[in-house]
Structure 1
Amino acid sequence: MTRISYSFLILFISCSQYEHEDYQNDDWLINGTGYKAETKIIAGGKELVLTNGLVQRQFRVAPNFATVGLNNLVTGQNYLRAVRPEGRLTLNGIDYNIGGLFGQPIHNYLLEEWKDELKNDRRTFQFVDYTIDEIKPRMAWKRRPEWLSSEAAWPPKGKELSVTFTAPEFISNPSIDQGRSLPLKGIDVTVHYELYDGLPLMGKWISVKNNTENPITIDKFVGEILAVTEEESSVEGEERWELPNIHIETDFAFAAMGNREANKSVVHWKKDSLYTSQVNYLLETPALLEVHPSLGPAQTLDTGESFETFRTWELFFASYDKERKGLSMRKMYRTLSPWAMENPILMHVRNADPESVKLAIDQCAEVGFEMVIMTFGSGFNMERGDREYYRKMKELADYAHSKGIALGGYSLLASRSVSGETDIINPETGKPGRIAKYDNSPCLATEWGSEYFRKIREMYEATGLDIIEHDGSYPGDICGSHDHSGHRGLEDSQWNQYQIISDFYDWCREQGIYLNVPDWYFMNGSSKIAMGYREVNWSLPRAHQEIIERQNIYDGTWTKTPSMGWMFVPLTEYHGGGEAATIEPLNEHLDHYSRRMANLFGAGVQACYRGPRLYDTEETREVVKSWVSFYKKHREILDSDIIHLRRPDGTDWDGILHVNPDGEERGLLMLYNPLDKPISRTISTPVYYTGLAEKVKVSDSQGNSTTHWVDRHYHIRLEVSLPARGHEYFILTE
């Protein structure tokens, strides 16, 4: 099957309608069913290949195990320019490479004829054997199908390659290691590689088992080392280098609401001192990828104990197009974190007393909402540890469930101070303050932390509550205390705290507890994060909020699916702004309220509707109910990917197109008019990712249908009329 770079889509499309359709069928973002992960033995048994038809990683298996090829099969690009170890462990203060080969004459590129000349370093961990299995789930997931609009595979389909290594012989060189080395026989290492069906995505992690008679300390690890072809060649150097066109994701991510920022402490693009033939005179080209924690983990393994690194995923782009790269990342999250596809319609109730909560539950059930969250400041308290309180909360949970509503509440974790004995300790001062992301924050690896999580588990098991909104989640803080029960000192403080929070989120996922977390914990079980907004914006006048809301959704969905982000609707005052900023009384601002729901439900993005009620009159109830009905009727397509058409700016129309090549509704076009007058426009609509190649049936909100032929650039032209400060939607079908 011929592969064509998707970067040059328009240039290579044939006029033939048959080839038009065939090109789409070959595109993994539209139809990935033909791209199955498999392994092959080549080069007379010297090499092992892990491939799925989109991306390929090639390994030498003798005289040691090493990556000798990394190829994008769509573009034909070879990413690898030089051989490096498969990882690195620092054990009791000594660095040991895992596998790898050396002897490459230059490091600009790797020729086939050089491979047989590469040599083994007996001081590295040595290759023993490998096994190939189906991918296994990294955590249990209790699905909530009522919130899922489509099937979600778990675990992902694909292959896991597990490569075992044995330790090098005893090494002792007092002039180098000052007596720190130890007999290594019995330290077994396995490097795991995963390749997924249907997308150019690989995963990797390392496990270590101590079968020696002595404790060992894993001071540091490097989970991935790749000498990658540079994206930019500069003699003098650059202030901001252009990096290789690969996205690196890990499950050791925190302290951000975006994927790159959340992973920045572990994804390191470094200078390569071995690359002496590069163009840059100071050898500063960032062409060496190393993935590792910035601190620690400093974990001690007793005899028989095991350790696993965090996981690294590598997504290889075949294009520089922003939309296509975003679609690739969104498919990655649907594959690796399918719980983020759960998209319940939710309300934030301001007060947690039974009367207020029951009113919210009743109204949610009446209009079709699916979840009530007892919000911050409501009085809900996960930390009470009070059996009578549990009983009252169970009564409320049972009442909610009888109405088909999920119920849960809010807890603040990290962005607060608990006590001088419990808070994060600044290693420079020996005191709390001026080191945590939020200045003061409790250390999770303390007796307080153990009690905090124990109480939450106890409460949710006793009550049957369904949702935790976990604000101020662990942001990657380090702690210099030597007195906390859950860590020894600074070096292991970050790793131990992260394991505590990720284990808790894994438990929530196993219990079917939905997680709203304003931090990047998708790979650890979180379902939703803020779509991306500044909270004080919801204190601005209502008309301003309408445009800003659509901007936030437009910008937030480049790398997030609609279900991955929440927005906010201040039914009552929030942070200020008074009457001009809020919607209550609802019936007096019903036009605005309806426009907000058009923004949100039209994008498939759920908001925190914060207030005491969802409606105050029969007319208000009917408006809310109609928008919920719209969303549920078109839920599959509205939860699908967004193609960005025109960013909202308040000066002309703006719009988005939902696409789903596997759905009955292939597209849903949502258009908005922010102006105080009706407008008519010709909208050139890209339908490539709907999977429609010949003609498209377009139905407006009134059910009127027209048929449009798809042009050579996969566009159709629509003549549309939009009412003043209004909207219109169109359904695209075959």
Structure 2
Amino acid sequence: MKKNILAIATFIITTCHLVGAQAQRIEIGNLPLYDKQRLRSKTDWLINGNAQKSAVYKTQEGYMVLSNGLVSRTFTMNPNGATIGLDNLVTNEALVRAVSPEAVLWVNGHEINVGGLTGQPIGNYLLPEWIPGMKADPYSLKLMSYTSSPIKERFEWNRRTEWSSQQLPWPPKGIEVAFTYKADEDVIRNFKNLKAQDSKREVLLKDDFIKLSPDWNIVTSRTLANAFNNEGKAGEILAPANAVVFGERALPQQTKVIICKLNSGTDESSGYGPGIALQFEGDKSSKFHLSPGNKRFRVYHDGKSQDFEGFDTGKSYFLKILLVTGPAAGSPAAGKMICSVSEDGKTYQILTELQTSSFPTHIRLGKTDPRGGNVKGNGADGAVGRGKIEQLLLLGENKGSDTDFNFLKNLKVTVHYELYDGLPMISKWVSVENEGEAEFIVNNIKSEHLAVTEAESAVEHKQRWEMPPIFAESDFAFGSMSPNAAQNACVEWKVDSTYTTQVNYLLQTPSLLVCMPKTGMGQELAGGASFESMRLWELIYDSYDRERRGLSERKMYRTISPWVTENPVIMHVSSAKDEPVKAAIDQCAEVGFEMVIMTFGSGFDIENTSPENLQRMKELKDYAKSKGIALGGYSLLASRAISKEDDVVMPAGKKPAFGNSPCLESEWGKDYFKKLYNFYETTGHDLLEHDGSYPGDVCASTTHPGHRGLEDSRWKQFGEIQKFYCWCRSKGIYLNVPDWYYLNGSTKGAMGYRETNWSLPREFQEIIERQNIYDGTWEKTPSMGWMFVPLVQYHGGGAAATIEPLKEHLPHYEQRLANLFGAGVQACYRGPQLYDAPQTKAMVKKWVDFYKKHRRVLDSDIIHIRRPDGRDYDAIMHVDPLGKEKGLLMVYNPLDEAITREIDIDLYYTGLQKQVSISENDGAARKMALNGTKMTLKVSIPAKSQKWFLLTP
């Protein structure tokens, strides 16, 4: 019920506006005129490098458009800022169906809308001609100004060019537009009227209907008797559906708030439903009541009725009318009635506002006619039902202090948008500034509330819904090795119960894109301070094809986190003692590996701050540098217990994600990060493999130095690790993190595999490895995921599972190298050595050389051709339409016999047309004619082997 009422309130308030409020008019200057047809991109953005530049335009109607020829977001500036369009220009599809606030904040416990318009007649679609007639929400912060600028870097990145075959721009190319909102005097005054606590108002009358007071004048239909005092129960009404039964009394002139608690019981009335009717001079009346006959709340005023959903028969509800009079409403006599409803009498949701020209003289409680009056001669027909008036509360002036709302005049909110050249994607975030002196707390921020067109028509309930064509990603993400991490923490597709004209009868269609931390922020904001929300990226799909959607996502990550293109060749040395590490460094230098990680279980201890350890680590780093090798090690963060004082304190019934975890804002957590900063500043190490990274555990402790309690615990802990990872990027420190921290600086995560599978017999590992890569690269680029090669035993499996002695298992070792380097995917080669004989060394170097020769195309996107199943060939194709090598096809034969196959391949994403030059295993090239972009390639592959085919113009 609560969600329904909230949604109703959000919809209904769009029909109201503040009398006398003068919105500031925002001019958009001499922007170029928007011409969608001319600006629409004529080429495929996934294969063409000539990107349409992002820019700001204006329409003939005076609206602002942010567009790059692939996607556009349109804003109205007057009477307030609001998104009125989000268009996919590739498919010519409008995605926004209704206007929403630009953001929603909770500050000191108060909910505050930012921007938005009211008055849209229906939620299925949004017509441009409706916009001029829509109004500014009288309780929403007002748009004051806007600025535009090139995109700025989110944090400093000291790139390692030697590991990346593409030197992508940072910051990305594009434009940022920032809209600044504040509360004007009318908003502050309205907010105080609306939010004044009832407990601080003067109580003028409280009637719990224990006994019927003689002050009530009881009016009933002529055939009814004692109907307002049925069986001696005051306020109980037993009457036909269309009967008139109410109590009337004069309304004190000091009345500001009317609250009536009532239950319709078995009453089946519609227009005659029980509620509050107010009488005005001149025999005018208004009625706010329950309408159980059609399961609605209903308001009648000025000759018009409005129905609101969310009513549940049999429940008790609090109906509340706030009377606002005086100069704020336009004149001393004029005013307005704000009608709201609640289930618990504490949290009310506004349904509507009604303009009045005078103060009501009398109040009626119970069943009146549909207009709030007493129809003479009423026949009192319909089924007899029983309902109850449970309480009436009349409240006067607010006796509390208005200082609770002083933060409003000091609250500055800026809504930021970024649009990227050559990518149908928009980023959004919110910054908050305290321009005053007194601290306030930002409890939470909803940085996006986007009412989107639904993706399907489903009348009944569904277990799995088709989602709108938007891939939403946030940098407030953790607890997953997949991109749904953002949805675990703050991104959701929600239902919109205000969308009452949708096809689904239960109003359950997911058609609201919301971005908001699910556990809150609790961010203190001192005077003069500011902070930013998480960032959201909205990538607009232009197809339902899985491969094209995956290509879109991969280009998105390369654009907004280009450090993921760094793809060093890595060895995990199994001992952190000096001699084994130096031996591993020497071998890496010999065969072309580029990085050594002192792996888990090696004895490497980043928390050992002794001068001796730090000096030893510095000396090993210097030795590695002299050989051209990067060096670093492994550290475990979460998934371990520290102490009762330092571990997370979970709410009742909850457990940490990994069973145990320290709180990052405890004394231990603060000290741990100090040790990490000190280690890298002292030793100069190049990388960190950070296992068990912060998974999003909350903490209810009130004694940890870095957070106050449960509300701010997740936001503060995430901020701690986010700050550290960003600092690492500024120092050029490479980050392996088995979690979705790419947007905060992580360079590589797990491709996706079950660790115990590396304890299976070797022949099983070969196929499973290729399956993991095939499945993992739909959403990841090859460089974003690592795999695993157990040179020595890992988890178990003994001699059948491991590769040592390496020279005794050369065919298997070579297959693993071919699998990985052929996919452009680096693995954790974990053991004491990479080779143990000249033939082993030659084989390893052969595949490293192959990778480095074709590094750019092997690091590029994978097109999925046939998934490995061990029953026939499997194949993937790398595509790089902007490179010299346009494609590289890898075909594997897992069978014990040679095969010849004709494979149909579409070279569309290589950018090649009509003709291609093909070389097999780096042999002589031959030309082949294409059927458009398609070809049929005949391949012959020996048993248990593979071939690659280089594709060039």
Which TM class, normalised by the smaller chain length? over 0.9
Deviation of the 1:264 alpha carbon: 2.7
**1:591-626 per-position Cα deviation (integer Å, ceiling 9, x unaligned):** 110010000000000000000000000110000011
Whole-Å separation in 2 of the counterparts to 1:155 and 1:618: 46
Aligned counterparts of 1:420 and 1:34: Cα–Cα separation in 2 = 55
The answer as to whether partners of 2:864 and 2:876 remain within 8 angstroms in 1 is yes
Report deviation, 1:693: 1.0
Q: Distance in 1 between matches of 2:906 and 2:508?
A: 41
Structure 1 pair 177–303 and aligned structure 2 pair: CA distance change class (3 A): farther
Q: 1:272 aligned to 2:496?
A: yes
C-alpha change, 1:624 and 1:553, in structure 2 (3 Å) is same
Equivalent of residue 60 in structure 1, options 62, 73, 76: 76
Name the residue aligned to 2:845.
Answer: 625
Question: Does 2:473 correspond to 1:454?
Answer: no
Unaligned ranges ≥5, structure 1 = 7-22
User: Are residue 551 (structure 1) and residue 568 (structure 2) matched?
Assistant: no
Give the Cα separation in 2 of the matches to 1:590 and 1:541.
15
Rg larger for: 2
Cα separation, 2, equivalents of 1:639 and 1:702: 18
1:532-568 deviation per Cα after TM superposition (whole angstroms, max 9, x unaligned): 0000000000000000000000000000000000000
- Give, in whole Å, the separation in 2 of the partners of 1:160 and 1:632: 37
* SS of 2:587 mapped into structure 1: helix
1:229 and 2:457 aligned: no
The one of 566, 585, 588 equivalent to 1:364 is 588
Tell me whether 1:293 sits opposite 2:310 in the alignment. Answer: no
Structure 2 counterpart of 1:344, one-letter code: P
* Residue 607 (str. 1) matches residue 812 (str. 2): no
Q: 1:458 aligns to what SS in structure 2?
A: helix
Could you tell me how far apart the structure 1 residues matched to 2:198 and 2:465 are? 36
Residue identity opposite 2:935 in structure 1 = I
> Pairwise mapping of residues 499-514 of structure 1 onto structure 2 (< 5 A)?
499-514=719-734
Note the residue ranges of structure 2 that are not aligned, 5 or more in a row. Answer: 1-34, 201-399
Q: 1:175 Cα shift?
A: 4.3
Check conservation: 1:80, 1:229, Cα contact below 8 A: yes
Q: Which amino acid aligns with 2:181?
A: F
Match of 1:11 in 2: none
Confirm or deny: 8 A CA contact 2:474 2:486 kept in the other structure: no
8 Å CA contact 2:49–2:882 kept in 1: the answer is: no
Identity %: 58
Deviations along 1:401-436, one digit per CA (max 9) or x if unpaired, are 00000000000000100111000112228xxxx521
Q: Deviations over 1:185-215 (max 9, x none)?
A: 1211100000000010100000010012321
Partner of 1:327: 551
> Could you give the per-residue CA deviations for residues 101-122 of structure 1, whole angstroms, max 9, x where no partner exists?
0100111111121111000122
Correspondence for 2:570: 346
CA distance in 2, matches of 1:586, 1:348: 16
Aligned to 1:33: 50
2: CA distance, partners of 1:408 / 1:122:
57
Q: Return the alpha-carbon distance in structure 2 between the equivalents of residues 472 and 345 of structure 1.
A: 23
Distance 1:213 1:122 in 2: 26
Paired residue type of 1:683: I
Query: Does 2:266 align with 1:42?
Result: no
Which residue of structure 2 aligns with residue 710 of structure 1? 930
Q: How does 1:488-527 map to 2 (within 5 A)?
A: 488-527=708-747
Aligned-partner residue type, residue 494 of structure 2: K
206-215 or 588-597, which deviates more: 206-215
SS in 2 for 1:184: helix
Match of 2:320 in 1: none
Matches within 5 A, 1:105-254: 105-167=121-183, 168-170=187-189, 171-173=191-193, 174-175=196-197, 180-254=404-478
Q: Distance in 1 between matches of 2:774 and 2:198?
A: 56
Question: Which residue identity is paired with 1:445?
Answer: E
Distance of aligned partners of 1:264 and 1:373 in 2 relative to their CA distance in 1, 3 Å threshold: same
**Offset, 1:300:** 1.5
Partners in 2 of 1:544 and 1:258 — Cα distance? 25
Equivalent in the alignment of 2:804: 584
Amino acid paired to 2:66 = L
Amino acid at match of 1:728: K
Q: Which letter does structure 2 place at the counterpart of 1:371? A: M
Asked if residue 683 in structure 1 is aligned to residue 702 in structure 2, the reply is no
Q: Letter of the 1:162 partner, please give it.
A: A
CA distance in 1, matches of 2:740, 2:635: 17
Cα distance change, pair 237–352 in 1 and its aligned pair in 2 (3 A): same
Rounded Cα–Cα distance in structure 2 between residues aligned with 1:495 and 1:177:
32
- Counterpart contact for 1:3–1:74, Cα < 8 Å: no
Q: Which amino acid aligns with 1:373?
A: I
1:393 matched to 2:410: no
For residue 279 of structure 1, report the CA deviation from its aligned partner: 1.5
CA gap 1:154/1:406 in 2 versus in 1, 3 angstroms: same
1:526-565 pair list within 5 angstroms: 526-565=746-785
1:29-51 C-alpha deviation (Å, 9 max, x unpaired): 00142321001011343x10000
Aligned to 2:579: 355
Name the CA distance, whole Å, in 1 between partners of 2:470 and 2:488. Answer: 14
Farther-moved stretch of structure 1 (458-467 vs 468-477): 458-467
* Alignment-derived partner of residue 686 in structure 2: 466
Partners of 1:303 and 1:399 in 2: CA distance: 50
Distance 1:358 1:156 in 2: 39
- The structure with the largest strand share of the pair is 2
Cα distance change, pair 261–184 in 1 and its aligned pair in 2 (3 A): closer
- Is the Cα contact below 8 Å between 2:640 and 2:661 reproduced in 1? yes
Q: Distance in 1 between matches of 2:523 and 2:925?
A: 64
Alignment TM-score, normalising by the size of structure 1: 0.95
Matched, 1:693 2:913: yes
After superposition, the C-alpha distances for 1:226-261 in whole angstroms (9 at most, x for unaligned) are 110011222222122211111000000000000024
CA distance in 2, matches of 1:410, 1:468: 6
CA–CA separation in structure 1 for the residues paired with 2:411 and 2:744: 28
Please report the TM-score for the alignment, with normalisation by the length of structure 2.
0.73
Q: Is the CA contact (8 Å cut-off) linking 1:169 and 1:183 kept in structure 2?
A: no
Q: Report if aligned partners of 1:646, 1:655 keep a CA contact under 8 Å in 2.
A: yes
Offset at residue 483 of structure 1 (A): 0.9
1:477-533 Cα deviation digits (max 9, x unpaired): 000111111111000000000000000000100000000000000000000000000
Corresponding residue of 1:17: none
Question: Which residue identity is paired with 1:543?
Answer: E
Amino acid at match of 1:151: Q
1:427 lines up with 2:447 in the alignment? no
Q: Secondary structure at the match of 1:238?
A: coil
| SS class of match (1:193) | strand
1:14 maps to what in 2? none
Q: Which amino acid aligns with 2:631?
A: L
Judge conservation of contact 1:656–1:670 (CA < 8 Å) in 2.
yes
Q: Does the 8 A contact of 2:117 with 2:137 survive in 1?
A: yes
The answer (yes or no) to whether the contact 2:477–2:486 under 8 Å persists in 1 is yes
Cα distance, 1:635–1:2 mapped onto 2, change above 3 Å: farther
2:401 equivalent to 1:381: no
* CA separation of 1:702 and 1:238: change in aligned 2, threshold 3 A: closer
**What is the match of residue 939 of structure 2?**
720
Identify the residue that residue 566 of structure 1 maps to in structure 2: 786
Partner residue, 1:482: 702
